[in-house]
Structure 1
């Protein structure tokens, strides 16, 4: 991509913003060197990486690339066998810390333990090697750039212990000498000379003070003498210092040898971390600009939707829709100065460069960009009223270069083509340049004031007019780009608004040719028609939206009705099947009892009792449902009190009020062993029980179950009964307990001879209601009772 276009379209400013978002030195370097690509595969890869990084930022939040150092020089030294110093090893450790942190970010598990979805960045994160044992060893041995830990080695620890002890001995000796020779000293202080401890002795007493002279003051009155008593200790200290330094160098050499084993991993980590830094800088730039990934094509089609120039304040930038390359290959933009024509050119050019560099563009989703091998731009600063020949020559030199190098794979941008010279000649020259480019099918966008070019666009196939809208009432541009409509200069309207007399304006109109006046009037009519059509389309869109909303509501209601109908039918079938099954089971059980009585010679009284039960059950099941009536006598919250007897209409049960009603009228009623919350509207005084309305079969069935629940006991006592009597009562009891939905019951049969217990167990094994049974526990009656668990 040519340097002039990058500079003219201010691509370097975008790169500077990108560079500021990178953390590492190589990441910033990669940002600085980022140039637009012309290969679809490379562009797609870069865009995919940017999109995936942005997706991770949205899901996981920001990622930090701080602490990454350029360790490439250190790695080069390791390759030739050199040892690293503490600073270099700490930088390697810092890189490994960043590697561990960033790898953890890339391998995130979701709330449900799901791994991060694979994308174009997965391989980057997966390849990182934190080398935690090696990193921990560096941290164990090196405290800071100037300090090696005592525990780096046992030898170093012993040396430093000896150094401390020697220091203490020296300090003790010096303190003693200071006290005994105070009159010989210039000051009672200890100083260091050439790394050895000395005392400031007066020159006249040098012969009385035994020691080695290391220095003297500038006046010569003071000699710095090392007392003979600590010479050996100082020598020992110097030797220990040398030994300490040698041990530190050995430790650093050992760490360097370890680092040399991981040269490839360290190099890969550094390159990957900085590459990810570069990728996430692109993603952060997209987030700042509210950018989207464009769709690329190799057919020269550009279709930008609500595109915004990224260097204009987001609070003031006006989005534009621009398209070219599908129905027309050339777009000629007209309109007044400061109307946004130049910004349109720069927006198209800059977004093209950004997209081909793998950056997201500030535009709506599904915006489309073409891939161009070159972008040429002849865009100058705002034009003054008078332009010198040198300005025209400069533009023409640039245009000549563009015409020589542009081809079908190029995008050409001209701002005020042909300006700076005689209008007639300039218009003719501009028209010839555009014709040459159009004949070569080169995508071109040009801005102009010349009416001749407006006519050229209207009369030439594949060339389209566009204009930047201008509000004559406010004398302000709207910065909206209108494709298909040529723009007016609006010079007369603007002048009239600014106070120019009408007679001057009318005279000026007479000086314009008839053809030009007719053309300007045509444009005015087109503009008026456009505004009218836009208003009508806006109203139509509003009506369509309302109709669509009503249609959706109707469809939703129909779906709800259909779903309810199917649900009601399904529930009715399920209820009918349930009632039928209950009837069949009851009939089977009754026939079984009847046959057993015939075989065993049962009593007529028992058979008659069973027949009465069957008749009552049939009468209940076949009774026709009746409409449920409202309570004939309501109970008001003021009249009810705890302990009152009431009748619960939906359940068909009597109960006692346990609590007073709340603000919603809800209260608790105790019905046998059942305590339930009901509303006061569903209660009647207990004396109204005889007047309670008939309810549906389904509610009646519920009443049977609730009645059982209210009266059934959790145990049955069979002691003292014969086997036949006990089994008959047990059978009826289990039926009632099962209907009452008791989870388990206790059958008390006593110990005795065990005959009754065995008979009970034999029956329980055959019962279809029983899931399991067992002998009672210590506090459950032991062998005298059996605990039965229902299915």
Structure 2
């Protein structure tokens, strides 16, 4: 991928934004070096890596990546026998500790979710707990060597503290004497050249004797080491030298130990750099509300509601761009400042971002092709250094592109053929597009030339497009319109700005008949497009409602059969208990009869037999007067709309709506409507009023409340408002359980929805969906 193209598409600004999310200098270095890949398998791996990191952030919010340092220079010195400073050793211990923490973090999380790539990284991390412990045993967090580093160092420091105490006591006795106030500039003990001294006035220097180490700027105060403490200071210096020698011995020993683990530590540095880079990409994807695109090697691009990542989310206009299936070339026509160049850069930038392993600012389900190269001729390319005009500079770029382009290339032309005679420029533009199209490349070109408006109609695989302009507000909407060439709108704009009709009519007379026909055709296309969009939206809503009803029916059936099996099992168990109780009672009666026969020699009286028979009759289980699944043996009823009936095949009560002929009726059972034959129904009663009893239903937008709510593509605040209303409606409909589809994405919507549900007084339990229910993209809600 050419660096010039990456700069043109502003990929360097993506790098700058990514740098804000790294945790160490190692990650910083990786971000500065990273670039798009043209290898299909590698791009898939890069996307999967980022997706796993995004899942970790979604589940945990953050990862323990603090305390990582670039210790490679330290390792190099240690490997050749050099002595490392205490701070360098602490950086090594800190990096080892960080690697151990992230390894533990990923392994524990992998028990909850599938993280094969991250696990493969952490498995390479060697746990060097012993090395970390030895360094921390010898050096504190501030980089100071501890007394516990060795027994010899502990002894020397005890001696040092003892000698210092003796020197201080000696000097304090001097400064507290009666003459000290007169002879000393101040009653304090200070240090010069690592030796304890006192500030003596110049005129009394001979009173104390000893060594002068320093004097004040005025020369009136001398910092003297009195003769009486010279020997004690000498002993202190000897101990300090021994202390320093012992510290150097400890540091050399630790440095040699670090050198022995050089390869393991280099592996840790490499893995920590990769992990820091991965989670930086994941944090950036979360920031731009990105999604993982599907990747193909067939030149197919499908971007749903794609946004330019460098334009603030609250300002950017999202567009759907498709390329590579029905058509391989898009020609965007229309006036300046309409958003044509932004559309080019959005497509190009999303492509290189995806090939670099970044998530793209588009909806879930978007798809990106992996190209061997992306070529772009965008912006004012005038070159002062080479004395080239804008047109000449553009042509230099285009010549270079035509020498390199092939079937696996993406080419972006901005204002193709501009900067020269319009007629010649249009002819060149058509010729260049034909050449690139012939080579099989994917192309998007923008142009002002009206001659190119007919280009898409004359060639298969080419489609016109434009960026919508609102004549009423005299401003562009930045919405891409595929299949509709752009209009100049000059006459409409001029009229709204107050230009006289006579002037406009005269201008129109100068326009050729062919141009007028083209403009009228475009206007007709725009009208047809708006009508088609409206009808498509209505059809889409109807399809969504039908799909929801279908899903609701399926779920109701599943719930019914689950409940039916549960009730059958419960009935069997209760029947078994009743029969067992009856059997025990019968056995008791038989025992009593036998006992009577033995005691009274079979002379059992009639009333005793009657009592026994009565006990047997009481032991017999009661029979239910109604048997579900069979028709009542009452007089046959003539069914009428509004009748309440029992539908035997479902074991549910319903109301008759209307006859569908041939002894069939449409029956309302709960929220479901279905056709049922009369032989499968049993009449219960007719309401006093002949109207059908209203079924408890909560109406949404012209449809019943379904068992699931789809929030994908919604903004965060709007989604939470929909969730709040939907939960209220579901409670009114007496649903025991519903599903909320929020998708995976960045995880912000999922967390917001689940936080709201956890605090709702009517919610009993929430959980993620099973594999067959949508996984972590769906939250199942159970009500109290």
TM-score, normalization: structure 2? 0.73
When residues 258 and 350 of structure 1 are mapped into structure 2, their CA distance, relative to the original with a 3 A threshold, is same
User: Which digits, 9 at most, give the CA deviation of each residue in 1:30-74, with x for residues without a partner?
Assistant: 101111111112111111110000001101111242321111111
- Partner in structure 2 of residue 93 of structure 1: 93
Give the CA deviation at 1:326: 1.4
Name the CA distance, whole Å, in 1 between partners of 2:327 and 2:429.
18
User: Which digits, 9 at most, give the CA deviation of each residue in 1:227-251, with x for residues without a partner?
Assistant: 3322211111110111111121122
- Partner in structure 2 of residue 258 of structure 1: 257
When residues 19 and 202 of structure 1 are mapped into structure 2, their CA distance, relative to the original with a 3 A threshold, is closer
Name the CA distance, whole Å, in 2 between partners of 1:368 and 1:285.
19
Matched, 1:157 2:149: no
Give the CA deviation at 1:461: 1.4
User: Which digits, 9 at most, give the CA deviation of each residue in 1:363-395, with x for residues without a partner?
Assistant: 122212111121111111599xxxx98222221
Aligned 8 A contact 1:187 1:200 in 2: yes
Name the CA distance, whole Å, in 1 between partners of 2:269 and 2:405.
41
Name the CA distance, whole Å, in 2 between partners of 1:530 and 1:218.
90
- Partner in structure 2 of residue 121 of structure 1: 118
Name the CA distance, whole Å, in 1 between partners of 2:462 and 2:409.
17
Give the CA deviation at 1:25: 0.9
- Partner in structure 2 of residue 169 of structure 1: 166
Matched, 1:238 2:233: no
Name the CA distance, whole Å, in 1 between partners of 2:67 and 2:240.
33
Give the CA deviation at 1:95: 1.2
When residues 594 and 34 of structure 1 are mapped into structure 2, their CA distance, relative to the original with a 3 A threshold, is same
Name the CA distance, whole Å, in 2 between partners of 1:228 and 1:558.
104
- Partner in structure 2 of residue 666 of structure 1: none
When residues 619 and 44 of structure 1 are mapped into structure 2, their CA distance, relative to the original with a 3 A threshold, is closer
Matched, 1:147 2:144: yes
Name the CA distance, whole Å, in 1 between partners of 2:555 and 2:223.
102
- Partner in structure 1 of residue 517 of structure 2: 518
Name the CA distance, whole Å, in 2 between partners of 1:268 and 1:589.
82
When residues 606 and 236 of structure 1 are mapped into structure 2, their CA distance, relative to the original with a 3 A threshold, is farther
- Partner in structure 2 of residue 37 of structure 1: 37
Q: What root-mean-square deviation, in Å, do the aligned CA atoms of Structure 1 and Structure 2 show?
A: 3.1
Give the CA deviation at 1:184: 8.7
User: Which digits, 9 at most, give the CA deviation of each residue in 1:472-519, with x for residues without a partner?
Assistant: 223232222222222212221122122221112111211111112112
Aligned 8 A contact 1:150 1:156 in 2: yes
The structure whose Rg is larger is: 1
Gaps of 5+ in 2: 627-784
- Partner in structure 1 of residue 608 of structure 2: 609
Aligned 8 A contact 2:586 2:616 in 1: no
Give the CA deviation at 1:523: 1.3
TM-score, normalization: structure 1? 0.72
- Partner in structure 1 of residue 500 of structure 2: 501
When residues 11 and 603 of structure 1 are mapped into structure 2, their CA distance, relative to the original with a 3 A threshold, is same
1:458-477 maps to which residues of 2 (within 5 A)? 458-477=457-476
- Partner in structure 2 of residue 315 of structure 1: 314
1:587-666 maps to which residues of 2 (within 5 A)? 587-595=586-594, 597-598=596-597, 604=603, 609=608, 612-618=611-617, 621=620
Name the CA distance, whole Å, in 1 between partners of 2:571 and 2:218.
120
Name the CA distance, whole Å, in 2 between partners of 1:620 and 1:192.
108
Q: Which moved more, 1:145-154 or 1:546-555?
A: 546-555
User: Which digits, 9 at most, give the CA deviation of each residue in 1:697-729, with x for residues without a partner?
Assistant: xxxxxxxxxxxxxxxxxxxxxxxxxxxxxxxxx
Name the CA distance, whole Å, in 2 between partners of 1:602 and 1:435.
120
Gaps of 5+ in 1: 628-791
- Partner in structure 2 of residue 66 of structure 1: 66
Give the CA deviation at 1:219: 7.3
Name the CA distance, whole Å, in 2 between partners of 1:505 and 1:203.
103
Aligned 8 A contact 1:413 1:446 in 2: yes
Name the CA distance, whole Å, in 2 between partners of 1:577 and 1:187.
108
- Partner in structure 2 of residue 654 of structure 1: none
Name the CA distance, whole Å, in 1 between partners of 2:174 and 2:564.
111
User: Which digits, 9 at most, give the CA deviation of each residue in 1:615-674, with x for residues without a partner?
Assistant: 3431673877679xxxxxxxxxxxxxxxxxxxxxxxxxxxxxxxxxxxxxxxxxxxxxxx
Name the CA distance, whole Å, in 2 between partners of 1:75 and 1:520.
72
Name the CA distance, whole Å, in 2 between partners of 1:581 and 1:201.
112
When residues 559 and 246 of structure 1 are mapped into structure 2, their CA distance, relative to the original with a 3 A threshold, is closer
Name the CA distance, whole Å, in 2 between partners of 1:18 and 1:563.
51
Higher RCO, 1 vs 2 (CA within 8 Å, ≥6 residues apart): 2
Give the CA deviation at 1:445: 0.7
When residues 606 and 335 of structure 1 are mapped into structure 2, their CA distance, relative to the original with a 3 A threshold, is farther
Give the CA deviation at 1:108: 2.2
Aligned 8 A contact 2:330 2:464 in 1: yes
1:196-275 maps to which residues of 2 (within 5 A)? 196-199=195-198, 209-212=208-211, 214=213, 225-275=224-274
- Partner in structure 1 of residue 429 of structure 2: 430
